[in-house]
């Protein structure tokens, strides 16, 4: 028997019921993550990529959210955790970094204090040891003059350094899984690449599994082994990054790659854009949610939702027309 994956998400449905109409943010997501693997979840706003991530830590507002399906992390049934266990689970089993460090960092405490406090709270031990570990973490995330920086408040640091400090905080309790919710989107290009490299390094060093949410294929390429492309609350294609990049099989992935402006284009050449706009989650079309924008759509696409089709080793596409998207042999 194979070892079960570290993270196993099965048939996850998340519906927000707070508004006048239920919003079906996630409609049947299956996802697994192996130890030490980096998976990028790629999608546009409203594709459900962040909601999936938040569901793993149960960060979506519980009263206004209906969650169905199962999420297992290291054998723990996340959806069944009691509030005490959930608290221990957050940070120790799974921790998260955000686009805005302001969400994770407390402005009134120094960074050293925050990290040490987290360590003492989760693992016990003395403040001195915790403080030493905080210093060690700051060194690991390559913060220059870490000793001095530990006594800084979040606002005293630049955006990139804050992001590093947040990563240090997330790693404080040696989590098995690191969730990253667009941590580089708000950063400048030269800082973004530093953080991406850092995530890669830490992943190698700590053997941590990373789930990295992004809207930018380029970012996914820099960090991930595997990519899951989300659209309308479903994973429409998943596979090794090379396969997705070189031989995408879902029309949405194909369209996304083709519509990118890239260096090899001649001046004035028009982009091969996907027509239309992303679906309204309160009003999802029946069948494949990409069908209304899809060039290859058949009437059947608007009637029932396609199941994932295996199109290569570990490469699945949720499409009825995978035969039409197969690469032409050269």
Partner 1 sequence: MTKPLLTVRGLVKHFPIAGGLFGPKKVVRAVDDIAFDVMDGETLGIVGESGCGKSTTARLLMHLMDPTAGEILFDGAKVGTPDLSLTEYRRQVQMVFQDSYASLNPRLTIESSIAFGPQVHGVPQREAIERARDLLAKVGLEPSRFAGRYPHELSGGQRQRINIARALALRPKIVILDEAVSALDKSVEAQVLNLLLDLKDEFKLTYVFISHDLHVVRYMSDRVMVMYLGKVAEIGPSEAIFDDPFHPYSAALTRSMPTMDPDNRTNEAPLFGDPPNPIDPPPGCRFHTRCSLAEGVCAQREPVLTRAAELHDVACLRSEPGSGHSAAPAVAA
Q: Contact with partner 1 (CB under 8 A): which of 21, 64, 148, 242? A: 242
Q: Are 159 and 166 in contact (CB under 8 A)?
A: no
Q: Interacting stretch for partner 1, rule CB under 8 A, among 10-18, 114-122, 170-178, 190-198?
A: 190-198
The site map against partner 1 for 140-179 (x = CB under 8 A) is ----x-------------xxxx------------------
Verify binding: residue 188, partner 1, rule CB under 8 A.
yes
CA angle 325, 328, 329 (to 5 degrees): 140
The mark string for 108-147 relative to partner 1 (x by CB under 8 A, - otherwise) is ------------------------------------x---
Among 8, 30, 34, 44, binds partner 1 (CB under 8 A): 44
CB 33 within 8 A of CB 39: yes
**Contacts within 8 Å (CB) and 24+ apart, 145-148:** none
Q: How far apart are CA 55 and CA 25, in angstroms?
A: 11
> Which residue reads 């302001």 in tokens?
102
Q: What is the DSSP string of 266-309?
A: PTTPPP-PPPS-PPPTTSPPSS-TTGGG-TT--GGGGTSPPPPE
Q: Which helix (H) or strand (E) holds 228?
A: strand 226-231
Closest to partner 1 by CB, 92 vs 215, is: 215
In whole angstroms, the minimum distance from the beta carbon of 219 to partner 1 comes to 6
Which of the ranges 78-86, 271-279, 304-312, 317-325 carries the binding residues for partner 1, by CB under 8 A?
A: 271-279
What's the closest the beta carbon of residue 120 comes to partner 1, in angstroms?
A: 30
Q: Does 277 bind partner 1 (CB under 8 A)?
A: yes
Q: How far is the CB of 306 from partner 1 (least distance, A)?
A: 20
Cβ pair 94, 176 in contact under 8 A: yes
Distance CA 281, CA 303 (A): 17
Smallest gap from residue 27 Cβ to partner 1 (A): 19
**What torsion do the CA atoms of 153, 154, 156, 159 make, to the nearest 10 degrees?**
160
Binding positions for partner 1, rule: CB under 8 A: 44-45, 144, 158-161, 188-194, 196-197, 215-219, 221-222, 241-242, 245, 255-256, 259-263, 265, 267-268, 270-275, 277-278
């Amino acid at each position: 028997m194979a070892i079960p994956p570290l993270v196993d998400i099965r048939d996850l449905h998340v519906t927000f019921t707070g508004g006048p109409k239920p919003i079906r943010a996630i409609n049947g997501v299956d996802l697994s993550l192996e130890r030490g693997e980096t998976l990028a979840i790629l999608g546009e706003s409203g594709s459900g990529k962040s909601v999936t991530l938040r569901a793993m830590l149960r960060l979506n507002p519980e009263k206004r959210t209906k969650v169905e399906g199962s999420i297992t992390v290291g054998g723990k049934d996340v959806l069944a955790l009691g509030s005490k266990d959930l608290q221990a689970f957050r940070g120790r089993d799974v921790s998260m970094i955000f686009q805005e460090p302001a969400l994770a960092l407390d402005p009134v405490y120094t960074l050293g204090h925050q990290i040490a406090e987290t360590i003492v709270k989760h693992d016990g031990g003395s403040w001195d040891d915790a403080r030493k570990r905080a210093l060690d973490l700051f060194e690991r995330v390559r913060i220059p003059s870490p000793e001095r920086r530990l006594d800084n408040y979040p606002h005293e640091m630049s955006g990139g350094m804050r992001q590093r400090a947040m990563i240090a905080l997330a790693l404080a309790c040696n989590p098995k899984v690191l969730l990253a919710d667009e941590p580089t989107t708000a950063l400048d290009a030269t800082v973004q690449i530093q953080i991406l490299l850092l995530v890669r390094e830490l992943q190698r060093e700590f053997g941590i599994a990373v789930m990295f949410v992004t809207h930018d294929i380029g970012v996914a390429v820099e960090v991930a082994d595997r990519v899951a492309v989300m659209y309308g609350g479903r994973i429409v294609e998943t596979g090794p990054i090379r396969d997705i990049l070189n031989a995408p099989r879902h029309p949405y992935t194909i369209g996304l790659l083709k519509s990118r402006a890239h260096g090899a284009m001649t001046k004035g050449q028009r982009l091969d854009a996907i027509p239309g706009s992303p679906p309204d989650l309160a009003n999802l079309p029946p069948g494949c949610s990409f069908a209304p924008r899809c060039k290859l759509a058949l009437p059947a696409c608007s009637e029932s939702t396609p199941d994932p089709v295996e199109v290569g080793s570990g490469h699945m596409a949720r499409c009825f027309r995978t035969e039409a998207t197969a690469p032409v042999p050269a």
